Structure 1
Amino acid sequence: MEESESKDGYRALGPHLGGAFVTKRVYGGQIIGQAWKTVQLHLKSQRKDAKLGALYHTFIGPGKIDDPIDYKIVESLGNVFVVSAHQNNQLIGLTRLRTEENLHEGDRLDLNYVKDEADYLTLDELAPLIPQEQLFQRKAAELMIKLFAFQVKFVEFHTRIEKKKRNLLYVRYRPELREFVTHNDAIQILLTVSDFFIFEVVSQLLTEHDLVMKTGASLNHHVTIHAVPDDPFDWFLFRTEVAHVGNSRCVIKGMVYDRQYKRLLTITQEGFCPFELKPARESKL
């Protein structure tokens, strides 16, 4: 992800991170993180320093992974900034960011059965252990390994809790990708994680009701920052829950914790998720 700075804004030259399954579409988490960098550069030019308290991002159009993305502050009032993301002269995203002098501290995860990340296998380690007769699951795991920019360890997957669906994952940047990350800002990296694998929990809930999600697209993404991680390349615990599904819309709640189970981010994402009845399998009789 090569980058270029100027007095007028910030340009990400690419190639950019792709989406988990729509691989030629820019991954939304990258746009969110780079919008914050745009504000950081502005504050630095003004010899000011502030912490990101919250942001609200609107996904306007799908970006391409190979073309440059131009970021620019289009409006500011006090500690609130609006950053546009353009690609090929088309607006693809708009982010409203609020800086704070002090962050609102989050709680700690109270799930006492969650173990340290070392007690779980990565998807890379797990895939070869899937029996050959479960060919579909094995191929799906191998595809995810190939496409994901993050390593994953499943703590809870497709778990029913209080009539809702929940996933709990350990997530971190793949070590082999660190040399391609040209920034070392902890919040920017953490924001990139915040949009990861977030529709999967909705897809699995629909599957339980014999429905299938035809596609998934983020509409808006709201994040509150509670704390800054010590090591942005460490493992994070990412919890997602389905808050609502209906009329081709879904609302997903997310929380990101550090390895001491302290909350770093709170996330609310609204998505477009049209679905239909699962096609009936043809009888072999």
Structure 2
Amino acid sequence: MTSPVSELIDLLSLERLEDNLFRGQSRDIGTKYVFGGQVLGQALSAAQATMDSAGEPRAAHSLHAYFLRAGDIEHPIVYNVDRTRDGGSFSVRRVTAIQHGQVIFFCAASFQQEEQGVEHQMSMPEVPKPEDLAPAPAIPLDVLAKLPTKVQRWLDRTGPFEFRHIYPRDELNPTKRPPFQQVWFRLSEKVGDAPELHRALLAYASDFQLLGTATFPHGISYYQPNVAMASLDHALWFHRPFRADDWLLYAIDSPTAQNARGLARGLIYDRDGRLVASTVQEGMIRVVPDKKA
């Protein structure tokens, strides 16, 4: 049986149709539409695959993306890469994701050759080590059975990443709390050393936990039938080398929510306290009034 990690790596390994044209498959992981992290990871994989024209090795350092339409889980996605520029030390790629003849997503990714320069970073929060935290308990079967089929599949699946929350939250019965959280996460199996693979894996994982933080002060969650949430844009910066199969700490806060949109920011540290990546995402958050109220 194929493991969830192997399935994810296959998902990020695109079929090359032409020099700048790629096709990626989709997976139903229990979300209503294609998971945003899948499109992020596949788009970055496509951009990385066109870096042969840059000459010397260049690594992705930033990704800025917009989600335009919901993706259809039942069909593949085509990624068209524009080799916008190969400069003296930086390269830029624009990636357009197409499904059913329509653009569902686009992004710009920037790459840089390795250079020496000034360095500083914000310190990692003082939190318990991941091995000192218990994995999330399984949801009782009688509770799971009462949920919609899609939600059941999402909550009951064994995904490729393991998460351990510093301050666990009951997403099925959420209470109001301040808009921040810290979560340790890692790929559940060891994989190869290719930095490009680890960056694509982190792009995939960076879409977990992020927007949900904006719901904390309001005592709502994605699993409630009267709550609709969707990513609108996503920015990701890679600062230092890392491994997605070793523990990483995701420190997230949400500074604001307004006009049916929420903003969330994340800092990602390795277990040695090095800041390896940063994220920002804005998403739609709509709450339909409860007719029973």
Q: Give the alignment's TM-score, normalised by structure 1.
A: 0.77
Q: Please tell me the root mean square deviation across aligned C-alpha atoms, in Å.
A: 3.4
1:193 alignment partner in structure 2: 205
Question: Is the CA contact (8 Å cut-off) linking 2:14 and 2:46 kept in structure 1?
Answer: no
2:165 alignment partner in structure 1: 154
Instruction: Choose the corresponding residue for 1:9, options 1, 17, 20.
Output: 20
Question: Is the CA contact (8 Å cut-off) linking 2:96 and 2:107 kept in structure 1?
Answer: yes
Deviation at 1:106, TM superposition (A): 6.2
2:71 alignment partner in structure 1: 63
Q: Give the alignment's TM-score, normalised by structure 2.
A: 0.75
Q: Distance in 2 between matches of 1:110 and 1:185?
A: 25
Q: Distance in 2 between matches of 1:105 and 1:216?
A: 37
Deviation at 1:65, TM superposition (A): 2.3
Unaligned runs of 5+ in 1: none
SS of 1:224's equivalent in the other structure is strand
Corresponding residue pairs, total: 262
Query: Per the alignment, do residues 61 and 193 of structure 1 end up closer, same or farther by CA in structure 2, a change over 3 Å counting?
Result: same
**Structure 2 matches for 1:32-181, cutoff 5 A?**
32-44=40-52, 47-74=55-82, 76-77=84-85, 78=87, 79-102=91-114, 107=121, 109-112=123-126, 114-123=127-136, 126-127=137-138, 135=143, 144-146=155-157, 148-157=159-168, 164-175=178-189
Unaligned runs of 5+ in 2: 1-10, 170-176
Query: Per the alignment, do residues 269 and 243 of structure 1 end up closer, same or farther by CA in structure 2, a change over 3 Å counting?
Result: same
Q: Distance in 2 between matches of 1:173 and 1:265?
A: 16
Question: Is the CA contact (8 Å cut-off) linking 1:157 and 1:166 kept in structure 2?
Answer: no
2:261 alignment partner in structure 1: 249
Question: Is the CA contact (8 Å cut-off) linking 1:120 and 1:153 kept in structure 2?
Answer: yes
Q: Distance in 2 between matches of 1:58 and 1:108?
A: 27
2:287 alignment partner in structure 1: 275
SS of 1:241's equivalent in the other structure is strand
Q: Distance in 1 between matches of 2:152 and 2:100?
A: 34
Q: Identity over the aligned pairs, expressed in percent?
A: 20
Deviation at 1:197, TM superposition (A): 2.6
